[in-house]
Amino acid sequence: MAVAKSILLTLLTITIIFSTAQTTTALPPETLTNAVETLSNSGYIAMSLTLTAVSDGLLSHHNAATIFSPPDIAFADYGQPSLPLLSVHISPMVFSLSTLRSLPFGTKIPTVDESIFLTVTTSSPNDVVSINDVRIIGSSIFDDGSLIVYGIENFLDPNFTVPDSPIQISNLNHCTASFRGNNGSISSFHDAANVLISRGYSVFASFLNLQLLGFQFQSQSQNKNQSNLTVFAPNDEVMVEYSGRFPDYQSLFHRHVLNCKVSWTDLMSVDDGISFDTYLDGFKVKVDRSGGGGYKVNEVSITSPDMYYSDWIVIHGIGDVLSLPKPADEVGDGEEDQDDGDDPGDETLVRSSGRMLIAAAPDRCEF
């Protein structure tokens, strides 16, 4: 009875979130307005005026961004920067300060100029975070989850380079291993869910809390070491399409979870086009890192790398839901092909396997 109440409460929470979310494909105007005002009030007047002038050209196609803002004195010494130089100071992804601090020396950060990367040059986790050998000043000036602005000591050099060095990546050979939970994972899920909620990913935070019930049951009966996990979490706005489709939630959740930990550093290092198994049987996630600002999984942009990171789980924010492929009988052009295959509720096409995060009942009636 207690379990059923917990499930119903979680589903009710998801429904409420759906009812208040709105779909967006770009940063909301009020977000940019608030960022500009905060920059001005914080003494970054030159950047606030510049951002007002160039935001339409540099940010109109992005729904997430990190901006590195030089101080007024840097503008006074340098003069009015060119648009290409300004583009180097904007990444189409959200990097929290804790994420930047966790990235090893030499990690690349994409910019809105797809031909140019920034480089993490922080020597150790205890040092002040630096990008292209330019230090970040204090904490973020502005942060609403979709846009983060940092103050930096000077302009970033677009021609900055460091000698290439081998990056140690995680062992990614166990992405087909079956999951085993343990009691140690429970508090970590609460921590991860709290971070997701604070960043505008409340729906997937609720999914994590719902799946936590399954982890508890497995830990009591199996008492095995936990597996490493990677979660690709769509934000609340893009989840509106799935409002009320309760039977589809398990499939939706499972296809966004890998049973191995793939950090941002790993994604930067693996071969372009590599695919990973998910907890949804037959569904794979393919990494596309062919463009400087276009790091994607299954053609969906990664917007917030390493949004949550622990020793066994990493969560990346993404810009849309990972869609199921069209069924074979809908790909052809026969007369009976009347369904366009875009219905997000058609989740019976791919079924979850034994690599479960929760125990699934037949059909789609687990809830």
Q: What is the pLDDT along the chain (367 residues), one digit of tens a residue?
A: 444 444 444 444 444 444 444 444 577 888 899 999 999 999 999 999 998 888 877 787 777 899 999 999 999 998 888 989 999 999 988 999 989 998 888 888 989 888 889 999 998 877 889 999 999 999 999 998 889 999 999 999 999 988 765 444 455 554 543 333 444 445 567 888 888 888 888 888 888 877 644 544 343 334 344 568 899 999 888 887 776 667 778 888 889 999 888 998 888 888 888 899 988 888 999 988 765 456 889 989 899 999 998 888 899 999 899 988 876 555 555 444 444 444 444 444 444 443 333 333 333 333 3
Is residue 1 in some structural domain? no
Give the sign of the dihedral formed by CA 252, CA 348, CA 181, CA 213.
positive
Is residue 356 in some structural domain? no
Is residue 243 in some structural domain? yes
Are 190 and 78 found together in one domain? no
pLDDT for position 188 = 62
Strand partners, 73: none
Are 147 and 176 found together in one domain? no
What is the tally of structural domains in the chain?
2
**C-alpha span between 196 and 145 (Å, rounded):** 10
Are 125 and 183 found together in one domain? no
Are 148 and 174 found together in one domain? no
Query: How many CA atoms does the CB half-sphere of 163 hold within 13 Å?
Result: 1
SS3 149: strand
**C-alpha span between 95 and 111 (Å, rounded):** 12
Is residue 44 in some structural domain? yes
Q: Taking CA 200 as the corner, what is the angle to CA 62 and CA 40, rounded to the nearest 5 degrees?
A: 60
Is residue 225 in some structural domain? yes
Are 240 and 316 found together in one domain? yes
Are 131 and 36 found together in one domain? yes
Are 186 and 270 found together in one domain? yes
Phi, psi dihedral angles at 276 (to 5 degrees): -125, 140
Tell me the residue range of the domain where 33 lies: 29-152
Q: Which of 232, 224, 65, 86 is nearest to 145 (CA)?
A: 65
pLDDT for position 352 = 42
Is residue 366 in some structural domain? no
Are 51 and 176 found together in one domain? no
pLDDT for position 64 = 85
Is residue 16 in some structural domain? no
Are 219 and 343 found together in one domain? yes
Q: What's the token pair of residue 124?
A: 């150790």
Are 224 and 199 found together in one domain? yes
Are 197 and 120 found together in one domain? no
